[in-house]
Chains A and B, each alone.
Chain A
Amino acid sequence: MELTGAQILCRFLKDEGVEYVFGYPGGSVLFIYDELYKQDAVKHILVRHEQGATHMADGYARATGKPGVVLVTSGPGATNAVTGIATAYMDSIPMVVITGQVPTQAIGSDAFQEVDSVGITRPCVKHNFLVKDVKDLTQTLKKAFHVATSGRPGPVVVDIPKDVTALKADYVYPTAVEMRSYNPVTRGHGGQIKKALKLILGAKRPMVYSGGGVVLGESSAELTEVVQQLGYPITSTLMGLGAYPGADRQFLGMLGMHGTYEANMAMHGCDVLIAIGARFDDRVVGDVKKFCPKAKIIHIDIDPASISKVVKVHIPIVGGVKEVLEELLAALKTTEQQRDEDALAGWWQQIEEWRAKKCLSYANSSELIKPQAVLEALYKLTDGDAYVASDVGQHQMFAAQYYPFKEPRRWINSGGLGTMGFGLPAAMGVQFAYPDETVACITGDGSIMMCIQELATAKQYGLPVKILSLNNGYLGMVRQWQEFFYDKNYSQSYMETLPDFVKLAESFGHVGLRIDKAADVEGALKEALSRKDDLVFMDFITDPSENVYPMMEAGKGHNEMLLRELA
């Protein structure tokens, strides 16, 4: 059947099973918008800024595991999308971003709204394509979805010149895709797995360090089973939270810069480290020279380039986390090797001593609202089952510390790029996927302003997101660093003219609540959660001086943390 490029795109998205396209129209994509208008299989969500579209698609992808799809126009549409593309890239989120382009014959002429989208996005995509011939469109789209979702996932950009959307070609939905240059490994090397098992079972002070790869690889169940069979302690990166149940005794909390005392101390003291789907990020590792000084390291990862990139590992296993953990489980069941029970008992005793420090305790107040208390109340009132999308700053770290996620894909945050402005649109993307679930957006007075315009989108589509703004009047994370490391020179970190968030929410047609007394926190949350159909913006006026602890400074080891001093 002969179809125009625009028709092919719409048909393809439908055949690929795409539910939502998050986008914003413009000159180069008008043929596409005309076709979207004539169909109803794919729902187009009109955002208010292209950054919002990318974060929405990203939030949708993180919550569902399905690729998020974005459609933007050429030039400024594409450049506005770059932050969201880079955000998805850093966290390996599957996403397909379709950018309009000026007509093929105008490319290179500095035409109106022309930018080299493929060039601009090259360093922050898994791959990108410029479609120069309508005959290549279908195959290219198929490749884009394949590359975005397989192996280590990531965003893929498909740049489509306007004339290509008007010209015609045959369309048949391709069920298969072949790329001789792209064949990601999934099965781990059997020999390596055997070697790893021997080391694992021989450990006296083992530690499991799991990351976002476990979530992306849908291997939370396998991870949980392996760890529970072994009875070993486990910590998680910011990106991996929820892959192992957060309230379980074997879970020591998050590790790294704002990790728990017990998790970081156990990292420092362990003799065998089992890294699973994690990439030894600098916020996790601290000073490389001081990292796990006594440990032999096993690293399971789908991306060979992640292995020994930062820290040299002893037993690398390249493969899908799920496949490797399944094999490890099978091997565990048949092995005759015994664990060193005495050593393990001693190790756990040591860990319990560290845990007894209760590094996350804080001096609650009956007047000032403590940000931690807001998160604890949210956890209690949602039974720990909410989807929580976060922005970036202190509030993000408090959310990671005080909302112990039970399941994967519930914690939605920009870990790698740390993009302020991510929270609200990401929460909205989650809400599109799960209209009946509670979706909370934890944000700050700084971050929320970066994509605030999406409140209009939320109104248009009736998304009942619950926004918890932990309003400390500061770019709190910046203020904290200035307090600790820059002589308390609070340079440009104080937000002098914040809007009245209640009125602002109301002006967009939402419900706004201002909460400034500790005693009112639970009541406000209950009210907001009971409003099933409304977006509620809760402006919590929190203690402006609160800091995130524990803290491992840059250049320090895991055993050199700053702890909160309680009076």
Chain B
Amino acid sequence: MRHIIAMLMENEPGSLSRVAGLFSARGYNIHSLCVAPTEDPTVSRLTLVTREKDEGIVEQITKQLNKLVDVIKVLDLTEGEHVERAIMLVKVRATGARREELKRLSDIFRGRILDVSSSTYTIEVTGVGEKLDAFIDALEPKSILEVVRSGALGIGRGTKSLRV
């Protein structure tokens, strides 16, 4: 099953490599990883998505992450209600009549056109992974010039929050 694991860690050089190293050393799968400092510059928040068939391994992953001395808190968001977002930027060939069509498609996905040239659009789409996949599927494959996607970010619903 797919799990989104959120964690707070000391914002120190090498912290990220401890997480990455743990996954490679123990053979765990990382599908995506996002990390940036929080409102408190000494704390980084890291969100990672893993797909493991064995729930025992997911339990091990959270325990091993917790064991890292730099890690302050770990939460498997998938255990509760949560919202999730990823962002994608797509550069597409946009000429002639296709320009109008692409604009409409972008609107349907609540995308935004960030950059325009005489032959291209750069469109921003945010949402859950499936929505981003669906947008890609809706595009003419040959028209796609470049795709850049972030990993998922996640946050729990309601009043509870993951804080130091």
Contacts and interface: CB of A to CB of B under 8 A. Distances in A.
A119 interface: yes
Contacts of B71: 181
B67 A147 contact: no
B72 A147 contact: no
Contacts of A127: 69-70
B25 interface: yes
Interface stretch (B14-22, B78-86, B108-116, B133-141): B14-22
Nearest to A303: B67
B9 A130 contact: no
Given A122-B21, A123-B21, A181 B70 contact: yes
Interface string B63-76: 11011011110000
A126 B69 contact: yes
Contact residues on B (Cβ < 8 Å of other chain), bracket? 20 to 34
A179 B67 CA distance: 13
Nearest to B72: A181
B29 interface: no
Contact of B17 (A119, A147, A307, A308): A119
B28 to A, nearest CB: 13
A312 B56 contact: yes
A118 interface: yes
B70 to A, nearest CB: 6
Interface in A18-75: none
Contacts of B25: 123
Given A122-B21, A180-B164, A312-B56, A147 B14 contact: no
A1 interface: no
A376 to B, nearest CB: 42
Chain A CB count within 10 A is highest, among B25, B60, B67, B70, for: B67
B101 interface: no
A485 interface: no
A122 B56 contact: no
Given A123-B25, A130-B13, A312-B56, A304 B66 contact: yes
Contacts of B66: 304-305
Contact of B60 (A118, A126, A182, A305): A305
A130 B63 contact: no
Contacts of B59: 308
B52 interface: no
A309 interface: yes
Contacts of A304: 63, 66-67
Contacts of A123: 21, 25
A126 B10 CA distance: 16
A305 B59 CA distance: 9
B63 to A, nearest CB: 4
Contacts of A181: 9-10, 69-72
A146 B111 CA distance: 51
A308 B56 contact: yes
Contact of A118 (B14, B67, B69): B14
Contact of A130 (B14, B60, B64, B70): B14
B20 to A, nearest CB: 10
A151 B56 CA distance: 23
A532 to B, nearest CB: 44
A268 to B, nearest CB: 23
Interface in A266-303: 303
Nearest to B24: A123
Chain B CB count within 10 A is highest, among A305, A308, A309, for: A305
Contacts of B56: 308, 312
A32 B75 CA distance: 43
Interface in A95-126: 118-119, 122-123, 126
A309 B59 CA distance: 9
Chain A CB count within 10 A is highest, among B9, B69, B164, for: B69
A147 B10 CA distance: 16
B9 A305 contact: no
Contacts of B64: 305
A311 to B, nearest CB: 10
Contacts of A308: 56, 59
A69 B13 CA distance: 25
Contacts of A303: 67
Interface in B16-44: 17-18, 21, 25
Given A122-B18, A122-B21, A123-B21, A305 B69 contact: no
Contacts of B60: 305, 309
Nearest to B57: A309
Nearest to B60: A309
Given A130-B13, A312-B56, A179 B69 contact: yes
Interface string A466-493: 0000000000000000000000000000
A312 B67 CA distance: 19
Nearest to A309: B60
Contacts of A119: 17
Contacts of A305: 60, 63-64, 66-67
Given A305-B63, A305-B64, A308-B59, A180 B17 contact: no
- Interchain residue pairs A-B with the least CB separation, the first 4: A305-B63, A127-B69, A181-B72, A182-B69
13 contacts: A122-B14, A122-B18, A123-B21, A147-B69, A181-B9, A181-B10, A181-B69, A181-B70, A182-B69, A303-B67, A304-B66, A308-B59, A312-B56
Interface of B: 9-10, 13-14, 17-18, 21, 25, 56, 59-60, 63-64, 66-67, 69-72, 164
Given A122-B14, A303-B67, 4 more contacts: A122-B17, A182-B69, A308-B59, A312-B56
